Amino acid sequence: MISEAIKHYHSLLHGKLLDDAIDRLLKGTAEHDLTFGVRPICTVLRPLLIDEQRYEFIRRDSELVLSAIEKLGRALLADKTLRAELDLTAAEEQIISIEPGFAAPDASGRLDAFLDSRGDFSFVEYNADSPGGLLYGDVLSEIFMQMDVVGEFAKRFPVRRVAIRQRILQTLLDCYRQLGWQERPRIAIVDWKEVNTRAEFEISRQYFESQGYPTIIVDPRELEYRGGWLRAGEFQINLVYKRVVVGELIERCGVDNPLTRAVKDRAVCLANSFRVQMLTKKGLFAQLDDPANEHLFAADEIASLRRHIPWTRKLVEGFTTYRGRKVDLIEFAASHKDQLVLKPNGDYGGRGVTLGWESDEEKWRQAIDDALGASFVVQERVEVLQETFPTLIGGDVKYEPRYVDFDPYTWSGEEVEGAGVRLSSSALLNVTAGGGSSTPLLILSQ
């Protein structure tokens, strides 16, 4: 049905319907500043279309993987030996010791996945620290739903969107109330003032204030903790929507800063909590894939992990298993570059990633040698779905193939609903790393 739906959508995209689609996308981009730096977030004129049955399959199995992650997270907190496998620094150990006051550290998260041609999918990492793009996708879905071409398409293929702004606010309020606080919170969206995602914070601020919650966007370096309040100037804060990455906060401000002191004293609710620093490590996937940890999980969780988590190992000298056989890990990695990727354990945004199949033998061997002196994982390559999208290029529309990155959103460590979609002509799908486009998810509702 999806191929038929895509074909029908493309057949409608001409004349006045095409002109309207371009006009609404350009106007919406300008109105909401849907840019990353100077680049527009969305450069395509078709949403990702997925049928209800496949969406429910992804949602259901993603919740099983999420449940396993939450169990592993609790085990990591309780077991120093298990936690040591993640190579946390002393500062990271210190910051995760701060009790958040609510249940799940990952109030909102993004499980980064790739769809494949068989109708299945694979997760490659978990962005639980400061998942970006949720608000961009939410606004884009509204813009597309207003396009005449989507309205005409929906006459034959009814579609629905998943609203995200409401879900973010409700999740923040749930964390806040778990601390036992009932007064209406005053919200701070906290990240560096120079980040390229500031327009997304403005979308959040406008929505929070429209719902009656005073909100400010503030740099962590501008915060003060005095008189029992976390403050930005004279604005008193008791709920923080944390968008700053924990590792960068430690690096620039140290562990002892106004934000961490206020959280430690329970003067403010911080979501996501600092404990997500454990869950963002790429080594988490090596632990999820390790048979030695299966005792932590239920049978259906194990089945979902084996189906959706690719073979992943911490890159260290020694022996491991690959598909039931014993292998020397470094020797195996060196001789199987076309099916492997190297990732730094603690970085994000595609930085430091080496794709074996795009490297020559010398570059790959050097990447392995360099990684052995740091903290890296090696992960098996997964299939990445390609679809053709009508793309705006220099004022013209061209139909070009794009790799699809499909990222289910997680909520309160329990639920999965909605997803971000990133497209790229490169195998390294990451808007932060440069190039590519976002597009909204629309679900075929029948």
Domains of the chain by start residue, with CATH:
2-280+385-444 (3.40.50.1760), 315-380 (3.30.1490)
Instruction: With CA atoms as reference, report the closest residue to 276 among 29, 134, 154, 104.
Output: 104
Looking up tokens 């997680």 gives 410
pLDDT of 36-90, one tens digit each? 878 899 999 999 999 999 999 999 999 999 999 999 999 999 999 999 999 999 9
- Return d(Cα 333, Cα 362) in angstroms, integer: 13
Can you tell me the mean pLDDT for 143-155?
Answer: 98
Asked whether 46 and 11 are in contact (CB, 8 A), the reply is: no
For residue 352, the model assigns a pLDDT of: 87
* CB neighbourhood size of 4 (10 A): 10
**pLDDT exceeds cutoff 60 at 435:** no
* CB neighbourhood size of 425 (10 A): 14
For residue 436, the model assigns a pLDDT of: 83
Instruction: With CA atoms as reference, report the closest residue to 355 among 375, 382, 337, 334.
Output: 337
CA distances from 350 to 124, 129, 174, 327, 428 (A): 12, 15, 32, 28, 7
Can you tell me the mean pLDDT for 225-251?
Answer: 96
For residue 433, the model assigns a pLDDT of: 44
3-state secondary structure the chain: CHHHHHHHHHHHCCHHHHHHHHHHHHHHHHHHCCEECCEECCCECCCEEEEHHHHHHHHHHHHHHHHHHHHHHHHHHHCHHHHHCCCCCHHHHHHHCCCCCCCCCCCEEEEEEEECCCCCEEEEEEECCCCCCHHHHHHHHHHHHCCHHHHHHHCCCCEECCCCHHHHHHHHHHHHHHCCCCCCCCEEEECCCCCCCHHHHHHHHHHHHHCCCCEEEECHHHCEEECCEEEECCEEECEEEECCCHHHHHHHHCCCCHHHHHHHCCCCEEECCCCHHHHCCCHHHHHHCCHHHHHHCCHHHHHHHHHHCCCEEECCCCEEEECCEEEEHHHHHHHCHHHEEEEECCCCCCCCCEEHHHCCHHHHHHHHHHHHCCCEEEEECCCCCEEEEEEEECCEEEEEEEEEEEEEEEECCCEEEEEEEEEECCCCCCCCCCCCEECCEEEECC
Average per-residue pLDDT for the chain:
94
pLDDT band for position 349 (50/70/90)?
Answer: low
For residue 431, the model assigns a pLDDT of: 41
pLDDT of 80-114, one tens digit each? 999 999 999 999 999 999 999 999 999 999 999 99
Can you tell me the mean pLDDT for 280-292?
Answer: 95
pLDDT of 172-216, one tens digit each? 999 999 999 999 999 999 999 999 888 999 999 999 999 999 999
* CB neighbourhood size of 188 (10 A): 28
Q: Cα(first)–Cα(last) distance of the chain, in Å?
A: 10
Asked whether 415 and 111 are in contact (CB, 8 A), the reply is: no
CA distances from 237 to 96, 240, 244, 328 (A): 22, 7, 16, 53
- Return d(Cα 2, Cα 387) in angstroms, integer: 11
Any idea of the CA torsion for 243, 249, 253, 257, to the nearest 10 degrees? 70
Q: Which amino acid is at 443?
A: I
Handedness of CA 408, 412, 417, 422 (dihedral sign): negative
**pLDDT exceeds cutoff 60 at 429:** no
CA distances from 100 to 129, 189, 274, 285, 319 (A): 14, 17, 8, 24, 38
pLDDT band for position 428 (50/70/90)?
Answer: low
Instruction: With CA atoms as reference, report the closest residue to 190 among 241, 129, 144, 246.
Output: 241
pLDDT of 7-31, one tens digit each? 999 999 999 999 999 999 999 999 9
Q: Is the pTM of this model over 0.85?
A: yes
- Return d(Cα 118, Cα 305) in angstroms, integer: 18
